[in-house]
Amino acid sequence: MTKSILKSIVAGAAFVAGAFITNGAIAQNGAVNTAEFFILPENANHEKALEKIRQATFHPKTKNKAKMWYVRAKVFTSVFEAGAEDKKIAALVNNPIDSAFTSIKKAKELEKAEGNDKYTKRIEEPAFQSDLGMETGLEQRIKNALLNQVQAYQESEDFENAYMTMLPLVTHIPGDTTNLTYIAYFASKAEKMDKAAMYYEQLGDIEGYTNGMEAYQSAAYSYYKLKDSTNFLRVLEKGAKNYPKETYFLTNTADIYIQKKDYPKAIELLKKVNEIEPSAKTLTNIAIMYQTEKQPEKAVEYYQKVLELDAQDYDATFALALHYYKEAANVYNTLEGEEQDATGEKMKPVVANADKAITYAKKAVAINSDDSTLYSMLKDLYVMKEDKANVELMKKKIEANN
Q: Where are the domains of the chain?
A: 20-156, 311-402
pLDDT in tens, 56-76: 999 999 999 999 999 999 999
- Low-confidence residues of the chain: pLDDT under 70: 1-29
* Predicted pLDDT of residue 29: 60
pLDDT of residue 132: 75
What is the rounded CA–CA span in Å between residue 379 and residue 168? 74
Decide: 104 and 123 in contact? Cβ < 8 Å: yes
Q: What per-residue confidence (pLDDT) applies to 402? A: 78
Q: Looking at residue 293, what is its pLDDT?
A: 96
Look up the pTM and report it. 0.78
Return the HEC string of the chain: CHHHHHHHHHHHHHHHHHHHHHHHHHHHHHHHHHHHHCCCHHHCCHHHHHHHHHHHHHCCCCCCCHHHHHHHHHHHHHHHHHHCCCHHHHCCCCCHHHHHHHHHHHHHHHHHHHCCCHHHHHHHCCEEEECCEEEECHHHHHHHHHHHHHHHHHHCCCHHHHHHHHHHHHHHCCCCHHHHHHHHHHHHHCCCHHHHHHHHHHHHHCCCCCCHHHHHHHHHHHHHHCCCHHHHHHHHHHHHHHCCCCHHHHHHHHHHHHHCCCHHHHHHHHHHHHHHCCCHHHHHHHHHHHHHCCCHHHHHHHHHHHHHHCCCCHHHHHHHHHHHHHHHHHHHCCCCHHHHCCCCHHHHHHHHHHHHHHHHHHHHHHHCCCCHHHHHHHHHHHHHHCCHHHHHHHHHHHHHHC
